[in-house]
């Protein structure tokens, strides 16, 4: 089935999972470079995966308060097209790498997402996720989608607790056209389910 909406599968750690994601119709793959994460992989593993997928696939490197030197090392060793910042990085920090970047917005902190996004005017996209400054990275839990302002444009990406079972509801109850999922398509942390990936895309587009 053709995927009509932008979908990112995050936390990819294996070549076969990346190939299955590509065949399912996802648009972007996320690679986690946060060592405390169960989905962490190093630059060598990341390159091995990227070398097996289509050059049309968007590759996203996820960081959360990583040191500048760590990010530069990844950029120099991996064909990462977009940087995703999931910590308390400032806009100046995010922009110094001269790469397109997405900034995650910590909905668990009860902030105004639009006001928060205004601090990052040059971000390519904003990932709305259910995490807070005391918890870097996604929680795997959904937040109340009613908290989202109406009329958000295509720069906004919904994350946080998305699953095969609720993605249709997410699509119907928000104005968003871009979605980011990790734990909701997994067998275990970092190990994706081919069946869930296919079903996620199908349910999203039905």
Query: Could you read off the pLDDT tens digit of each residue along the chain, which spans 206 residues?
Result: 567 899 999 999 999 999 999 999 999 999 999 999 999 999 999 999 999 999 999 999 999 999 999 999 999 999 999 999 999 999 999 999 999 999 999 887 778 899 999 999 999 999 998 776 655 444 456 677 877 888 888 999 999 889 999 999 999 888 899 999 999 999 999 999 999 999 999 999 98
The verdict on residue 12 lying in a domain is: yes
The verdict on residue 57 lying in a domain is: yes
Output the domain CATH number for residue 102.
3.20.20.70
Unique residue bearing structure tokens 């070549």: 15
The verdict on residue 76 lying in a domain is: yes
- Calpha distance 44→131 (Å, rounded): 28
The verdict on residue 167 lying in a domain is: yes
Q: Looking at the chain, which runs of residues are DSSP E strands?
A: 6-9, 28-32, 58-63, 82-85, 101-106, 125-129, 156-158, 178-181, 186-188, 191-192
Nearest C-alpha neighbor of 181 from the set 148, 166, 81? 166
The verdict on residue 1 lying in a domain is: no
The verdict on residue 163 lying in a domain is: yes
- Calpha distance 21→36 (Å, rounded): 24
| Range(s) of the domain holding residue 81 | 6-205
The verdict on residue 24 lying in a domain is: yes
The pLDDT of residue 31 is 98
The verdict on residue 79 lying in a domain is: yes
Query: How many independent structural domains does the chain possess?
Result: 1
């Amino acid at each position: 089935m053709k995927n009509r909406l932008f979908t990112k599968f995050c936390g990819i750690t294996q070549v076969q999972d990346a190939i299955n994601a590509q065949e399912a119709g996802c648009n972007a793959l996320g690679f986690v470079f946060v060592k405390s994460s169960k989905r962490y992989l190093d630059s060598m593993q990341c390159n091995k995966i990227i070398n097996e997928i289509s050059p049309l696939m968007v590759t996203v490197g996820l960081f959360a308060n990583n040191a500048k030197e760590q990010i530069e090392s990844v950029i120099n060793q991996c064909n990462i097209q977009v940087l995703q910042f999931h910590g308390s990085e400032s806009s100046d920090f995010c922009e110094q790498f001269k790469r397109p970047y997405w900034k995650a917005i910590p909905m668990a902190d009860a902030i105004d997402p639009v006001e928060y996004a205004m601090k990052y005017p040059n971000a390519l996209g904003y990932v709305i996720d259910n995490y807070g400054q005391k918890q870097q990275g996604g929680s795997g839990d959904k937040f109340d989608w009613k908290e989202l302002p109406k009329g958000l444009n295509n720069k906004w990406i919904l994350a946080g607790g998305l699953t095969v079972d609720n993605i249709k509801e997410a699509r119907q109850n928000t104005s968003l056209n871009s979605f980011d999922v990790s734990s909701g398509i997994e067998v275990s942390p970092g190990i994706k389910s081919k069946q869930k990936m296919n079903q996620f895309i199908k349910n999203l587009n039905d």
